[in-house]
Amino acid sequence: EVQLVESGGGLVKPGGSLRLSCTDSGLTFSSHTMNWVRQAPGKGLEWVSSISSSSGSIYYADSVKGRFTISRDNAKNSLYLQMNSLRAEDTAVYYCAREFDSRSRFDYWGQGVLVTVSS
């Protein structure tokens, strides 16, 4: 059974950094592309970043390019998002989501973790 659990959220000042983690309790983590999707309070979903199973392909939304870094450790069934130079507009619930197969649907989602950027 796939279960994605995010951690690492919290309150951070503008310009600060935070590292999110997502751990998969299932057995197939290393076979799937993983994504981060965020949702600002009261707003819709925004795709943030994706990383292929081997980390060979990595993509970012323009809104976070150059500030956020996605990575994974397949030995630990874990996905990460290093967030630097945080801005107020980065305040959101961040979800990790598993991609079923290439360029397709996100079939499993974590419960989300709240990141608040405020002074």
Partner 1 sequence: ELVLTQSPGTLSLSPGEKATLSCRASQSVSSSYLVWYQQKPGQAPRLLIYRASSRAAGIPDRFSGGGSGTDFTLTISRVEPEDFAVYYCQQYSSSPPGYTFGQGTKLEIK
Please give the residue ranges that form the binding site for partner 1 (CB under 8 A): 35, 37, 44-47, 50, 57, 59-62, 95, 100, 103-107, 109-112
Helices (H), the chain: none
42/75 with CB nearer partner 1: 42
CB of 21 to partner 1, least distance (A): 16
* C-beta of residue 54 within 8 angstroms of C-beta of residue 35: no
**Beta-carbon contacts of residue 24 (< 8 Å; ≥ 6 apart):** 2, 3, 4, 77, 78, 79, 98
Query: Which of 72, 116, 69 lies closest to 98, judged by CA?
Result: 72
CB of 91 to partner 1, least distance (A): 17
61/91 with CB nearer partner 1: 61
* C-beta of residue 74 within 8 angstroms of C-beta of residue 32: no
11/107 with CB nearer partner 1: 107
CB of 47 to partner 1, least distance (A): 4
CB of 97 to partner 1, least distance (A): 8
